[in-house]
Amino acid sequence: MSELKLELKEKIIEQLNLEDVSVDEIADTDPLFGEGLGLDSIDALELIVMLDKDYGIRLADPKEGRKIFESIDTMAAYITANRTN
């Protein structure tokens, strides 16, 4: 699980162009939206694409993303439970 969390942090930084953020600065429990990393609605769509492309998970309802993308911890748990590749 810790390997997956590190992988997610690296992917988020790279794919969402978080220029001034390093892996060490993202705690597993930090909120990804709002006061945490400050991601926005377009970033949320990018994360949905990432789930599909990299882990074979298609969200039937994009609103599900709200809980899944709360933090690195919640993302990693969801991917571990649902990944198809």
Q: In the structure encoding, which two tokens stand for residue 85, read together?
A: 């590749």
| Minimum distance from residue 39 beta carbon to another protein (Å) | 10
Residues 26-55 that bind another protein (CB under 8 A): 38, 42-43, 45-46, 49, 52-53
Q: What are 84's strand-pairing partners?
A: none
Q: CB under 8 Å to 29, separation ≥6 — which residues?
A: 71, 72, 73
Q: How near is the Cβ of 15 to another protein at its closest, in Å?
A: 8
What span, in angstroms and rounded, lies between the C-alpha atoms of 27 and 11?
15
| Residue 1 sits in the site that holds another protein (CB under 8 A) | no
Residues that bind another protein (CB under 8 A): 16-20, 38, 42-43, 45-46, 49, 52-53
